[in-house]
Each structure stands twice: as C-alpha cells, then as structure tokens.
Chains A and B, each alone.
Chain A
Amino acid sequence: MSGYRLPAGGRVDRNKPVSFTFDGKSYQGLAGDTLASALLANGISLFGRSFKYHRPRGVLAAGSEEPNALVSVLRGPGRFTPNLRATNVEIHDGLTATSQNRWPSLKTDFGAINDRLGMFFPAGFYNKTFMWPRSFWDRLYEPAIRKMAGLGDAPTEVDPDTYAATYAHCDLLIVGAGPAGLDAALEASGTGKRVILIDEQDEVGGGALADPALWAWLERSVKALNAAANVTILSRTTAFGYYHNNFIGAVQRLTDHLPENSQAPREKLWRIRAGEVLLAQGAIERPLVFDGNDTPGVMLSSAARIFANRYGVAVGKSLALMAVHDSGWHDVFALKKAGVGIAAIIDARDDIDEALQAEAAALGIAVHLSHSVIGVKGRHQVAAIEMCANGSDVRRTISCDALLMAGGWTPSVHLWSHSKGSLKWRDDLGAYVPDQPNENCRSIGACSGDWDFGKGAVFDVLPTPKDQARIKAFVDFQNDVTANDINLAVREGFRSIEHIKRYTTNGMATDQGKTSNLNGLQIASTALAKAVPDIGLTTFRPPYTPQTFGALAGHAKGALFQATRTTNIDGWAEENGAIFELVAQWRRARYFPKFGEDMHAAVNRECRAVRGSVGIFDASTLGKIEVVGPDAAEFLNRMYTNPWKALEPGRCRYGLLLKEDGFITDDGVSARLAPDRFHLTTTTGGAARVLNMMEDYLQTEWPDLNVWLTSTTEQYAVVALQGPNARKLLEPLVEGIDLSAEEFPHMAIREGHICGIPTRLFRVSFTGELGFEINVPTAYGRALWERLMADGAEYGITPYGTETMHVLRAEKGFIIVGQDTDGTVTPYDAGLDWAVGKKKPDFVGRRSLARPDIVAAGRRQLVGLLTEDSKMVLEEGAQIVADTNQPVPMTMIGHVTSSYWSETLGRSIAMALVANGHAMKGETIYVPMPEGTHKAVISSMVFYDQEGARLHV
C-alpha cells in the first residue's frame, strides 16, 4: 500500500509535526494523528504479524475494534505496554512503538513458516496433536508453542506508574459521544439531571469526526455541553463493563498521550452508579470473507473514510471497493471527493439503488455488480485484486493498492449484553440488536440498529469459483480463524456456537470478536443449515477492550494491598529488632533475636527466660468481646460448651466454642466482671467470626435475650507477664489489687490501676507459669511495656514472640484452634471433655456430639508424640502410619499438628491427630519424612508440669 497525507482536510494540526519511532525507525506525523494514521501517511502498510500463522498484517479498522495492528509502546523503564491497537495510540514527540509477533524482523519473520504449513494447523490442531505422548509435552511441545505463540511480550519490570480510582453517581450515564450520544446529552443538559458522558476517543464526536459536514454542529454541541454545569464529559475513557444495578466500570487514560512521563496518575478507574444508562456505542463495520482478505491494504471501507476525513490520510493511491452494503458506496464517493483515486466499485449484489449508480457514473467510477473479489495479489501490500462474476469462472484482475470492504454493520451490543439485556435477530441487518432491557437502560443510535447507512445484503463467504478448501478466507483476524476452520468444526460434529467458538477460537482473542462474531455465526449457520437465531450467540463479557492491571488494582498494591493491623507496642518491637509474622491481618513479633541469633537460638533463650524468671509478651491481638446485659450469663451458657451461670464475678473460665455441627471453632479465657458483664477473649484470627456468630444467634435465634455484644479488641493493649518472678515485678506497680495467691488465685480477674493506668488484670497463663495478662487502654500499651521492661531488668525480663508462646503452650498441651484442630475436631477428639458441661440441657453444637459419626470409633484424636530420637523435630503436617512394612500407598492414620524443640525438656515434642489415639498411649507409630522414617511413641499431650504445680503459686 502506498498511503500518503492528503494536501488538505482532516482534524490533524498541520502546523504541529510530531516525531516518533516505529521498530526503531523515525517517522513524522501530525498532532491529532494516531499511530495508525501517521504510519499510513508515511506509506507503511505492514503493521504486524498474525498470532498463529505469522501472516503479514496491516490495519483493518480505524478504532478500538482493530484486530491486526497491535503494537507495544515503551515509555521508559517499567513502562512497557504490549498489545495496544495502533488505531488507538495517540502519537506524541518521542513515542516509541514496536511491532509484535515477529522475529527477527517484521519483514523477515521465521514464524511465517507456520503459514506455509497452514494445512497442518487446522482448527483444534493443538488439542489433537499435542495430546500424546505425555512425556513430549514438557520437553518439546510446550517450549516450542510458548516460543511461537503468545500475543506480544509481558512487561518484565515493576510498573512505576500510579493509578487513581473514584466513585461517581449520576442520574444519566451516556456511553458513546457520537451524534446519538451528543444529542441525548444536549437534551438532558437542560433538565438539571446529573449527566456523565463517556467516550473512548481523545475527542468526542464519534462518527461525526469523519464527516466534515457535521463539524460545525459538533463544535456548537461540545461548547454547549462544556458550559452545562450538570454535564461531565469524560473522553479517553472506556466503559469496559456493565454490572448489576447500573454500575459501570470505566477507565480514563490520563497521561499516556503526553510526551513526558508525569508524576500524575496514569489512569483512573471510575466506578459509576447511574440512575439511567443510555448506550450510544455505535456500530462496527463487518469485514467480508474471501481468499486473501487479510493482506495488508485490505481494510474496512469506513476506516478508509475516517483516515481521509479525520486524519487527512489516503490509505492508497488507487482504491477498490468490495461492497455488499450501500455504506461502502457513500464512503467511496466521499473519498473520491477528498481527492483519493478510486479504481472500481465491486458489489456482490445485483440490485443497487439507481441514485448510487448514477453518482458513481457522475464521479467516473467503474462499477461491477454481481461480482466478487476472489483473490488478492501482493504479500506485504495489495498489488492487485482478482474478481469474478458471481456464478461464473470469468476472472479479471484490477490493479489497486488498497481494497475496501463494506460488509454491513454490527451494532455494538457488548455493554447491553453485560447488563443481561436480551437481543433479537434482525434478518435485514444480519445482526442482533437490543430487545428487552434488564436494567434501567436504553440503547440508542447505531448500536440499537438504527442507522442511515443505507441497505445491504448478508453474505457468509463471497462467491468464488476456487476450491473452498484451499482458500485462506479469514473470519477472525486476530486469532487466525478461517471460514474453513469453522466448516471443519461443524463437520467434526460441533453444533453449539459456544463449542464452535472454543474449538476454533473464533472471537476469543483480545478483540473478543468485534469484527468476527457475526461472520462466524453466518458461516456456522450455513454449514449447519440452521437460521442464525437457532444457533445462538456467544456471550459478551467485560472488559469491552483490554484494560491494564494497574488501573484495576489502583492503590491496592504493595503495603496497601491489604491493611496491616499493628498494636500499640508494635513500634517498640520494631525498634528492638523483632522478626515479625502476619497472623490474620495482625503483624506480630515472632521472636526477638539478639547478637545475631537465629530463630532457634532466640526461641530457646526466650523459653528459658520465661521458665526461669520472667518473660513479657504482647497479647494485644487477642480478640475481645464485651458481653453485657441481664441475660449475659444465660447467653454464654447457650453459646459455649462450659457452664457459665455459676461463675463468680472476679473469676475466669476457659471457654470452648463449637459450631452447630459439633466441631471446635474457637476458644479463649473469659472473665466475669459483674453479674451482667463478661470480658470474653477469642483467638487472634477468630475475633470477627466469633462476634458474627454470636450476633447471629442473639439476633435470630434468641432475640428474647437481653444482651449486648461489643467488639473491644482494639480498646485494650494486653501485656502478658509470665514466669516465676512475674508477681514480684508487678506488685510494686499495682494499686488496689491484692496480688497474693490467696486473694488473687489462678483464673481470676481484678480491676484496679497499674502505674496509674486503669487496668483489667487477669491472672491467667498460656505458658504454664505464674502469669498475668494486663489489659490497659490501648494508648497506654507501650508506656506500660517500657516501664515493665525497665523495672524488670533486675529479673532479666525477656520479651518473647509468638514462636516462644507456641513452644511454651505446646509443652503444656494447650491447643491452638486452627493448628491442632481443623474444623473436624470435637471436644472429645481434642481431649477437652472436661470443658463440656455434661449437665447443660443445650448449647451450640451439643446435639451434634451425639451424631452417629461423632460417637463412632476410629475418629482422629489429639495426642502427644515423643520421637525415639529425642533430637528429631518432626515436620508439622507429616503423615503418620502404623506399620512401615505395608505396601505403598500406606494407610495413613493421622498427622502431626504441632512440633517443636523443647528447650525446657531438652528434647523434641509434638502433637498429632491419630485415629483412636487416646487408646494408643505408649504405642509406637511411624512418621515417614523425605529423608527417612521416624519412630515415635504416643504420649500425653502435657509434657511439662503435669500436675500444674507451677501455676498455683
């Protein structure tokens, strides 16, 4: 093709030249050009290679439906965007664009061998060929396919751009600012409604931009809308998805068209809730299906008109038209008047409007009715076309350097379909149009099938005397699907269009079949001898055009991907070298290494400190719920397995919470502060879930109970002081509480002051040592912690993290819900029979504890494990077998749930769920691990201080 810049016309600024590069070569365009129009003006016809056959491809369209001319744009390190449509890329000084799917160069591409082997790559080729042998897949097929296939290259660096997001609400959202959309906006602008008008192009106007007769009207309209305070115009904005209740997702491109990378957000995601939606997206011209229709220079007729009228670019010196629709004739007349050479009009129809024929004659354009193009000469650009009278074999060649296709129009029903509006088939248009809406939505203008482009006929494949099986007539240009592929799929038994689509991949490329779906349907319809409405239509799904991950992710990346909850003491832990772990959304100190210790050494030291003197632990993340009201005790009695009514104020109780199915879901120590007030604690990860569950029962099962539940997790900082010297350290700091063993026994709570701060002081222990959990208002957490650290220096006070907490609790056989239980463990399985109130008539989950499968023998029960090799720490999650001589696969009788090195005991300890484990104490089991099988003996879960003497001091 030999496109060139017309001497006049277009909306480009002829006084503003723009320099850019394509495949490393410099070119000049004009301000207002797209990459496509600028390259066409420079005589470029070859834009890329196709996906499967690597066939040379040019520009098919002028808008976002473009399937062929995909390019990559580099805007500096990390700013690489593949698969952009050259027809949508606005040029600016310094734009760096490259073609895709070619190696080593666009003109010489090794992958094009696929094209020569085309007969070996029919529909379903991959499915059929690469099935076997299986071993070939990893070594041969996949690497080869990966090298050859793929659309563009994925960026390899972190995206340095920022992306914004916003919500918007309006009474009327109009999608598409062509004549129909602008008219609707003008009408609504006088009503006082809040109106948002969205358009994907850099300039509003849609089809009017290619019609100079409408430019004066366009200018007036845009001026009026800009002056209307109730109208917001968003250009460069693509409404990509239409969701429930008139919720529309749109991405606005803010900086890609600017020469310099700015600090401003690159794109902005709009989430728009509209009272009413007007869809005015227009229609997309349909290509025609004939041999060689993908040769660079064969393009949509409307596109050639847009390039001429909007950009002042002729796509060639001598253009031929292949039409089955009147609109092509109008395009050619406009082109001729703009000074573009027209070689001929070929129309497959017999009966053409007299007026059109007269105008063609007046303009001196040769016309061939009842003729079809049957071939294209030229590989990298059109050199000539071959045509033939329909039904004959009289062939004739016409020289031209571009061929325009006027195949009729397809209304853009994408967003309408996203909204689940129904479609109806119109035979006269050969297209689906909107029928019944599912939302408060209307479709107007060309996307509703309402247009003034004239009449047309519908052809699936143009008539040809050639052997249909040997021609390459493309339907889906981006995925390289030919008419033959669709016919083959039908021959092989595919009947549903959804299956034909997946088998041939027709319409499954990034353009989602904007130019191919209807032609594919027509061809399948002919092959199946069924009317199009009887074979259906494939589903449209968001996004309308591909969008960046950046825009969809917005701020939700890096540290902002998910909120991290921190305690008031977190800053101290960070300053003192803590290694952290995430627990639920909390950042918790895992251990505090000193002098280059590894975790093992640090944890051993921390454990020794707690057992030997005193350790300090940030327990603020424990879930806390304040349960208040006259029926508080009754409510807890129904929720938990344990009895609560007799619990004295000032005392604590370990509570076990089941789901209605009888399985453990949470646990925690709770305190009765007053007859009508409890301070509940839950696991760190379970707080929200437990509150939700309690609210559920309270609101819906027992609304008669007078109880209030309040989450107080973040109201209190909790400092756990654990170890034989804990009381000695605490005593001088506490006012109003007698800490003596007699007055303040294990599992008690007192209210008073510590360092002048009001406190709820628990005497509880998750370590097996004398221990206190000091609850103070959150803001005082760090102050209290630092005071205890200072005063505790004489006892060698040692901060410890969650890892040490885990070891110490395991030495005592205390379970962690979610680690030692997995949602299938009952209180009996966990050895917590003592926590189940046998005399209670009911509690959540009680009835399930009598279900046949719960009382059956053989359930996995929680036990202790002592390895034969005391230095061997088992892997958590490792499977357990009874007999290593059995054939593989062996019967697995359980698995390890917790496993640690116990510095206190000088050996490893573990907990495990083992079938019938409670009855197997003393028996030997085996734990196969990658490096060998380990022998262990089932033991009690309480490894240390079995009688609890260290607690009651």
Chain B
Amino acid sequence: MILIHCPYCDEKRPEIEFAYAGQAHIARPVDPDSYSDEEWERFLFIRANPRGRHHERWRHSHGCGRFFNAVRDTVTDKFETTYKAGEPRK
C-alpha cells in the first residue's frame, strides 16, 4: 500500500485515504462555447497515458478532502512529488 503525501495536511498517509481523480492540469475552459467540437472532444475525452512521469490529481477523500496534484511514475508506482491545486506544473 502506497504512502501519499498530502500537501495540505503535510503528512504521508496510506493510499486508502485517497481517491484518484484523473490527469492533472486540464482546466475547464472559461467559455466552453468558444471551443470547436474537436477541441471540446479533446478536453472531454483525450488523456495522456505515459510510461513514466504522469501528472495526476488525487483527493484526500478520507482526510482533509482537498484535491491536489501529483507526479507519479506509472512504471515504478512511485510518487515523485505532490503539490497543491493551482500551483504550476512540476
């Protein structure tokens, strides 16, 4: 069972306290109507599937409840870092 560092609680906690929430840094457009069908499709459905570093969102569901971002290696399953939502991509 992985330990995940919650950047809000500033603690490493077992993964059962957390929920995965998909790829990170995909902002909802401010004006969705300005998106073409193709752009909207990319926003809705198209996600990266890297071998290695992956930017993803997690939620400390059974802790502080905050969503945050993480960089996890999809091969080793190791977390490189976690950081608060809104902070620049690491």
* Contact of A245 with B1 at beta-carbon distance under 8 Å, contacts A660-B28, A701-B27, A852-B37 already known: yes
Residues in A neighbouring B65, C-beta threshold 8 A: 695
Within 8 A of A (CB), among B59-75: 59, 61, 65-67
Q: Does A263 contact B (CB under 8 A)?
A: no
- A53-61, A565-573, A764-772, A840-848 - interface stretch: A840-848
Within 8 A of A (CB), among B1-55: 1-3, 19, 21, 27-28, 31-33, 35, 37, 40-41, 44
Q: Does A692 contact B (CB under 8 A)?
A: yes
Q: Kindly provide the distance from the CB of A489 to the nearest chain B CB, expressed in whole angstroms.
A: 30
* Assembly CA distance A847 to B61 (angstroms): 29
Q: Does B86 contact A (CB under 8 A)?
A: yes
Q: Does A193 contact B (CB under 8 A)?
A: no
User: Digit string of A687-718 for contact with B (CB within 8 Å is 1, else 0)?
Assistant: 00000100111011101000000000000000
| The one of A243, A245, A695, A701 that contacts B28, using a Cβ cutoff of 8 Å | A701
What would 19 A/B residue contacts be, using CB atoms closer than 8 Å?
A243-B1, A244-B77, A271-B1, A420-B76, A438-B76, A660-B28, A692-B61, A695-B59, A695-B67, A697-B28, A699-B66, A700-B67, A703-B85, A703-B86, A842-B32, A846-B32, A847-B32, A847-B35, A851-B41
| The one of A244, A420, A848 that contacts B2, using a Cβ cutoff of 8 Å | A244
Residues in A neighbouring B85, C-beta threshold 8 A: 699-700, 703
Within 8 A of B (CB), among A245-276: 245, 247, 271, 273
Check B28 against A692 for contact (C-beta < 8 Å).
Answer: no
Known A661-B44, A695-B59, A699-B85; 18 more pairs at CB < 8 Å: A243-B1, A244-B1, A271-B1, A420-B76, A660-B28, A692-B19, A695-B67, A696-B67, A699-B66, A700-B67, A701-B27, A841-B33, A842-B32, A847-B32, A847-B40, A848-B40, A851-B37, A852-B37
- Chain A: interface secondary structure? mixed
Q: Kindly provide the distance from the CB of B9 to the nearest chain A CB, expressed in whole angstroms.
A: 15
For the complex of A and B, list the 3 residue pairs with the smallest distance between their C-beta atoms, beginning with the closest. A847-B32, A244-B2, A245-B3
Number of interface residues of B (CB under 8 A): 25
* Contact of A245 with B67 at beta-carbon distance under 8 Å, contacts A696-B21, A701-B28, A847-B33 already known: no
Residues in B neighbouring A438, C-beta threshold 8 A: 76
Residue in chain B with minimal CB distance to A688: B61
Residue in chain A with minimal CB distance to B33: A847
Q: Kindly provide the distance from the CB of A166 to the nearest chain B CB, expressed in whole angstroms.
A: 15
Residues in A neighbouring B21, C-beta threshold 8 A: 696
Q: Kindly provide the distance from the CB of A405 to the nearest chain B CB, expressed in whole angstroms.
A: 39
Residues in B neighbouring A696, C-beta threshold 8 A: 21, 59, 67
Of A271, A692, A700, A851, chain B has the most CB atoms within 10 Å of the CB of A700
Check A692 against B59 for contact (C-beta < 8 Å).
Answer: yes
- Size category of the binding interface on chain A: 20 to 34
* Assembly CA distance A692 to B66 (angstroms): 10
* Assembly CA distance A420 to B21 (angstroms): 26
Q: Kindly provide the distance from the CB of B86 to the nearest chain A CB, expressed in whole angstroms.
A: 7
User: Digit string of A868-894 for contact with B (CB within 8 Å is 1, else 0)?
Assistant: 000000000000000000000000000
Within 8 A of B (CB), among A825-884: 841-842, 846-848, 851-852
Residues in B neighbouring A420, C-beta threshold 8 A: 76
Residues in A neighbouring B1, C-beta threshold 8 A: 243-245, 247, 271
* Assembly CA distance A243 to B1 (angstroms): 6
* Assembly CA distance A420 to B76 (angstroms): 8
* Assembly CA distance A484 to B21 (angstroms): 51
* Assembly CA distance A271 to B3 (angstroms): 14
* Assembly CA distance A661 to B77 (angstroms): 30
Residues in B neighbouring A846, C-beta threshold 8 A: 32
* Assembly CA distance A247 to B12 (angstroms): 14
Q: Kindly provide the distance from the CB of B26 to the nearest chain A CB, expressed in whole angstroms.
A: 10
Q: Kindly provide the distance from the CB of B63 to the nearest chain A CB, expressed in whole angstroms.
A: 13
* Assembly CA distance A271 to B32 (angstroms): 48
Residues in A neighbouring B86, C-beta threshold 8 A: 700, 703
Check B32 against A851 for contact (C-beta < 8 Å).
Answer: no
Residues in B neighbouring A244, C-beta threshold 8 A: 1-3, 77
* Assembly CA distance A908 to B43 (angstroms): 44
Residues in B neighbouring A695, C-beta threshold 8 A: 59, 65, 67
Residue in chain B with minimal CB distance to A845: B32
Q: Kindly provide the distance from the CB of B73 to the nearest chain A CB, expressed in whole angstroms.
A: 11
Residue in chain B with minimal CB distance to A246: B3
Residues in A neighbouring B3, C-beta threshold 8 A: 244-245, 273
Residue in chain A with minimal CB distance to B26: A700
Residues in B neighbouring A847, C-beta threshold 8 A: 32-33, 35, 40
| The one of B19, B27, B44, B59 that contacts A660, using a Cβ cutoff of 8 Å | B44
Residues in B neighbouring A700, C-beta threshold 8 A: 57, 67, 85-86
* Assembly CA distance A261 to B28 (angstroms): 62
* Assembly CA distance A244 to B1 (angstroms): 5
* Assembly CA distance A841 to B35 (angstroms): 14
Q: Kindly provide the distance from the CB of A804 to the nearest chain B CB, expressed in whole angstroms.
A: 35
* Assembly CA distance A692 to B21 (angstroms): 10
Residue in chain A with minimal CB distance to B69: A700
Residue in chain A with minimal CB distance to B34: A847
Residues in A neighbouring B32, C-beta threshold 8 A: 842, 846-847
* Assembly CA distance A852 to B31 (angstroms): 19
* Assembly CA distance A410 to B28 (angstroms): 56
* Assembly CA distance A438 to B77 (angstroms): 11
Q: Kindly provide the distance from the CB of A363 to the nearest chain B CB, expressed in whole angstroms.
A: 53
Check B44 against A848 for contact (C-beta < 8 Å).
Answer: yes
Q: Kindly provide the distance from the CB of B32 to the nearest chain A CB, expressed in whole angstroms.
A: 4
* Assembly CA distance A286 to B73 (angstroms): 37
Q: Kindly provide the distance from the CB of B37 to the nearest chain A CB, expressed in whole angstroms.
A: 6
Q: Kindly provide the distance from the CB of A449 to the nearest chain B CB, expressed in whole angstroms.
A: 25
Residues in B neighbouring A852, C-beta threshold 8 A: 37
* Assembly CA distance A695 to B1 (angstroms): 26
* Assembly CA distance A828 to B19 (angstroms): 32
User: Digit string of A420-453 for contact with B (CB within 8 Å is 1, else 0)?
Assistant: 1000000000000000001000000000000000
Residue in chain A with minimal CB distance to B30: A842
| The one of B2, B19, B31 that contacts A245, using a Cβ cutoff of 8 Å | B2
Q: Kindly provide the distance from the CB of B52 to the nearest chain A CB, expressed in whole angstroms.
A: 15
* Assembly CA distance A847 to B41 (angstroms): 10
Residue in chain B with minimal CB distance to A243: B1
* Assembly CA distance A848 to B32 (angstroms): 9
